Amino acid sequence: MQSEIRRVSRVVRIGNVLVGGKEPIRFQSMLTSDTCDLPKVIEEVEGLFQAGCEIIRVTVPNHKSVEALPKIRKLMVNQGINTPLVADIHFNPQLAINAAEFVEKVRINPGNYADKKRFEIREYSEAQYQEELQRLEEKLLPLIKQLQKYDRSLRIGTNHGSLSDRVMNRFGDTPEGMAESAMEFLRILEKHQYFETVISMKASNPIVMRAAYQEIVRKMDLEGMNYPLHLGVTEAGNGIDGRVKSALGIGSLLLDGIGDTIRVSLTEPATNEIPAARSILNGIKRFPRKTVLIQIKKQSNNISNEIEIDGIKLGGESPFRLMGIADFVLEDFPSEPFDKVWNQKEWESEIFPNLHSFDSRNPITGNKVILVESDELDIDRIHKYIKISDTNGFEPVFLVKLSLTKDEDELMGLAANLGVLILENVVQGLIVPTTNPNDPMLEMILSLLQAARVKTYKADFISCPSCGRTHFDLQAATAKIKMKTEHLKGVKIGIMGCVVNGPGEMADADFGYVGSGFGKISLYKGQNCVRKNIPEEKAVDYLVELIQEHGMWQNHTETT
């Protein structure tokens, strides 16, 4: 059972909920309803409350939404619901100031609170940069006073896709830039004696997200700060892909002792996010962990010796390998998505020394393959034996052999633990005891390897969870787009509800499908808008045409 050791943070009060310190890790979600549609809002709030959501966020895009907030609170009180509300603000500082009177927490995006995104490329002198920070402080001061007046908390919610031009020009679109974007605000807040702050570093790429949280911890440690962290992979998508991306990002950080509150952002009904978050938290507790990696380090360049087994090269500079085991293997057995398929009898005759056959008195004595059973997966033990083998001058190849399971908690725990080992380049391959493409274990593994960027099996979707700013059926559109394009191996498609984070968050996408008004869609090639305000009912077909025009379309038969 994993210990509850976490990075030590200060405690921040959000209404009747405490976040940070030794408090439980809290579950959050966000309403998808129009904030002014009170019947739908309260229906969604009731569903989240019943699901166990502890903090509920609502979008506040205009002054009518601010006026709706006290009405929402009154309806909640009438239903006996006292869950804290968070006002989500972009672009308009006055909305944040006004909303602070009616909600327990305000969330602002440091990339667009006081800055307009112009995508300008310029060099800032130190004096010019300080002038920009002075302007930022002046913009932030009225909100600080309002938060202090009403005893409210604040989330500084950095998004990978919406960094200010100032930060982009000095630090780039990087984890360091994301962290510095938040630090600019934290320094101003502390200067004015405001400390009720929670930080998030969200990105649609779980690898970037993980690195950004590690970087903000490092920066806060250097400056004596210890604010709690809200974890999330934004625009994670739906189904198994959305859950695995979140397990890779959120779960791997929790294993490192980082994180105080979490949200799994799914392109599904908001109530689905809470059990998904609970599965990640429950899942990582199923695996032994006596220590946590609070000492932040860069991604490992751990390179083992290359070893060849049965015609397959493992370790060294070889690509990550996925092997399967089948009851029987015909001569023309299709290997996809596997690098190698053994039949059961071949596997039983193949002897790999197991990690648990070694201890400190019986050190690894050669460059060989070491097998780790997934039901005994122990990151600490693997790290220990890497040190032992390094001391003895050996570089073993680690393979993990998975045991079949359909239990969602266990699948999410595996995704988090394997994710750590894959991102650290510690594990060089996986063995799955099935070739059934519909097996939940294999589905999870394929999603994990694609999310970790070590294998590519299908199109990659960056899909937001929707909110009150979305004016088309995002869930239906996502399902339709996936049905038509999922076979396009390696093509990245962003499906975004609006322009708040849309063009920026899908920065590395090949194509984008972004809401631009009521029932209207704009299409992007990269970050360039190429077709504006297409009627929703025609937009998916136009997206397919756009992919075809750029030579990235393949028929299903060409990809199998």
Least confident of 148-157, 278-287, 489-498: 489-498
Q: Does residue 288 register a pLDDT over 80?
A: no
pTM beyond 0.85: yes
Q: Does residue 302 register a pLDDT over 60?
A: no
Q: What radius of gyration do the chain's Cα atoms show? A: 24
**Average pLDDT of the residues in 378-385:** 80
Strand-pairing partners, residue 534, are 521
Residue 236 pLDDT level (bands cut at 50, 70, 90): confident
Contact 530, 196 (CB under 8 A): no
Contact 465, 429 (CB under 8 A): no
CATH class (in words) of the domain with range 460-559: alpha beta
Least confident of 47-56, 399-408, 419-428, 469-478: 469-478
Q: Does residue 424 register a pLDDT over 60?
A: yes
Written as six digits, the tokens of 62 are 């205009």
Name the fold adopted by 12-231: TIM Barrel (3.20.20)
**CB contact set of 59 (below 8 Å; sequence gap of 6+):** 30, 31, 35, 65, 88, 467, 468, 469
Q: Does residue 294 register a pLDDT over 60?
A: no
SS (H, E, C) 62-86: CHHHHHHHHHHHHHHHHCCCCCCEE
Q: Does residue 394 register a pLDDT over 50?
A: yes
Contact 248, 422 (CB under 8 A): no
Closest CA to 188 of 136, 226, 153: 136
Q: Does residue 362 register a pLDDT over 60?
A: no
Give the CA distances from residue 230 to residues 93, 156, 254, 415, in Å, rounded to whole numbers and listed in that order: 22, 10, 11, 20
Residue 120 pLDDT level (bands cut at 50, 70, 90): low
Closest CA to 511 of 523, 500, 522: 523
Domain layout of the chain by residue ranges: 12-231, 307-451, 460-559
Residue 374 pLDDT level (bands cut at 50, 70, 90): confident
Residue with more model confidence, 128 or 362: 128
Residue with more model confidence, 57 or 297: 57
Written as six digits, the tokens of 101 are 């009177």
Written as six digits, the tokens of 265 are 């952002």
Distance from C-alpha of 447 to C-alpha of 418, rounded to nearest angstrom: 12
Q: Return the pLDDT at 296.
A: 41
DSSP structure string for 26-40: EEEEE--S-TT-HHH
Share of the chain above pLDDT 70, in %: 87
Residue with more model confidence, 49 or 460: 49
Q: Return the pLDDT at 455.
A: 92
Beta-carbon-side half-sphere exposure of residue 491 (alpha carbons within 13 Å): 24
**Average pLDDT of the residues in 413-425:** 93
Distance from C-alpha of 272 to C-alpha of 160, rounded to nearest angstrom: 24
